[in-house]
């Protein structure tokens, strides 16, 4: 029967510890620690199986005892992270971050260069995705890339709005160019018709028909 830590009484602990000392289970603890990959202080031996464990003198016997539950590894007793998690959750809500809790200047706590690099990476990632999706061509991508480097866009939203405005402007310019081309074609056709009428009239005058 395995007694987990914290369940047995202090009297029974002292009793079994006395038996363990009299049996000298140093070898068994050393082999168990080597098999389980821990220190000898982490080895737990079932107090009701001390005589059986004391007979184990090889690693194979120790492995059998471990598989039967006679020998186990004690749990780690580290510092609790409950209070740390609770305080971290409060910090994320803005608590415990006032002037009295700050150590170091604003530049030391969050350097401007770090903010610049982070913003540039975000903007360039947006441009790269838009170019891969063929939402912007190489020419517009190069222009916007240089504008990002020139600190023209303060965040991703401004950049996306500028891209949409630029695309709408390009569409408008294209429509204007098409309208201009249509007007030019009409004017050219009108001019040719006028010249043809003048040419026919001159021909008739030369023939004396007018």
Write the pLDDT tens digit of every residue in 51-86. 999 999 999 999 999 999 999 999 888 888 999 999
Cα–chain center distance at 80:
27
* E strands present in the chain: 43-45, 71-73
Let me know if residue 100 belongs to a domain.
Answer: no
Neighbours of 25 (CB within 10 A): 21
Taking CA atoms, 104 is separated from 46, 63, 94, 101, 109, in Å, by: 54, 55, 18, 10, 6
Has residue 207 got a pLDDT over 90? no
Let me know if residue 56 belongs to a domain.
Answer: yes
The string of pLDDT tens digits covering residues 97-150 is 999 999 999 999 999 999 999 999 999 999 999 999 999 999 999 999 999 999
* Confidence label for 6 from pLDDT (cuts 50, 70 and 90): very low
Claim to verify: residue 127 and residue 179 sit in the same structural domain: yes
Q: Which two tokens stand for residue 68?
A: 């039967």
Claim to verify: residue 124 and residue 64 sit in the same structural domain: no
Let me know if residue 154 belongs to a domain.
Answer: yes
Let me know if residue 28 belongs to a domain.
Answer: yes
Claim to verify: residue 117 and residue 178 sit in the same structural domain: yes
Q: What is the model's pLDDT at position 7? A: 47
* Confidence label for 18 from pLDDT (cuts 50, 70 and 90): low
Claim to verify: residue 116 and residue 178 sit in the same structural domain: yes
Claim to verify: residue 69 and residue 116 sit in the same structural domain: no
Claim to verify: residue 176 and residue 129 sit in the same structural domain: yes
Let me know if residue 199 belongs to a domain.
Answer: no
CATH number, position 145:
1.10.1200.240
Q: Which two tokens stand for residue 16?
A: 């079994």
Q: What is the model's pLDDT at position 8? A: 45
Tell me phi and psi for residue 44, to 5 degrees: -115, 125
Has residue 16 got a pLDDT over 60? no
Check if the beta carbon of residue 47 is closer than 8 Å to that of residue 8. yes
Has residue 21 got a pLDDT over 90? no
Of 54, 73, 92, the one marking the end of a domain is: 73
Cα–chain center distance at 72:
39
Quote the CA–CA distance of 46 and 32 in Å, as a whole number. 13
Quote the CA–CA distance of 48 and 129 in Å, as a whole number. 67
End-to-end CA distance of the chain: 133
Let me know if residue 207 belongs to a domain.
Answer: no
* Confidence label for 204 from pLDDT (cuts 50, 70 and 90): confident
Has residue 23 got a pLDDT over 90? no
The DSSP H or E segment spanning 170 is helix 156-207
CATH number, position 42:
1.10.1650.10
Has residue 29 got a pLDDT over 60? yes
Mean pLDDT score of the chain, rounded to an integer? Answer: 89
Claim to verify: residue 67 and residue 123 sit in the same structural domain: no
Domain hosting residue 124, numbered range: 112-184
Q: Considering its fold, how many domains does the chain have in total?
A: 2
* Confidence label for 13 from pLDDT (cuts 50, 70 and 90): low
Check if the beta carbon of residue 16 is closer than 8 Å to that of residue 50. yes
- State the DSSP code for 73: E
Let me know if residue 166 belongs to a domain.
Answer: yes
Q: What is the model's pLDDT at position 135? A: 92
The residues pairing with 44 across neighbouring beta strands, listed in sequence order, are 72
Taking CA atoms, 145 is separated from 57, 140, 156, 157, 160, in Å, by: 72, 8, 13, 15, 13
Claim to verify: residue 173 and residue 118 sit in the same structural domain: yes
The string of pLDDT tens digits covering residues 30-59 is 999 999 999 999 999 999 999 999 999 999
Let me know if residue 189 belongs to a domain.
Answer: no
């Amino acid at each position: 029967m395995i007694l987990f830590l914290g369940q047995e009484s202090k009297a029974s602990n002292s009793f079994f510890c006395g038996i363990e000392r009299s049996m000298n289970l140093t070898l068994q603890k050393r082999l168990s620690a080597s098999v389980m990959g821990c220190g000898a202080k982490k080895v737990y031996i079932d107090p009701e199986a001390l005589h059986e464990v004391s007979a184990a003198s090889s690693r194979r016997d120790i492995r059998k005892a471990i598989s039967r539950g006679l020998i186990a590894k004690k749990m780690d007793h580290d510092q609790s992270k409950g209070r740390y998690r609770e305080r971290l959750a409060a910090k994320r809500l803005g608590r415990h971050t006032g002037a009295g809790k700050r150590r170091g200047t604003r530049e030391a706590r969050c350097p401007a260069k770090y903010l610049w690099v982070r913003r540039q990476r975000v903007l360039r990632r947006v441009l790269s995705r838009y170019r891969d999706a063929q939402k912007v061509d190489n020419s517009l991508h190069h222009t916007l890339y240089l504008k990002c480097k020139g600190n023209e866009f303060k965040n991703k939203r401004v950049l996306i709005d500028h891209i949409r405005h630029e695309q709408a402007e390009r569409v408008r310019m294209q429509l204007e160019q098409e309208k201009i081309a249509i007007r030019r074609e009409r004017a050219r056709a009108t001019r040719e018709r006028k010249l043809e009428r003048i040419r026919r009239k001159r021909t008739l005058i030369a023939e004396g028909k007018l």
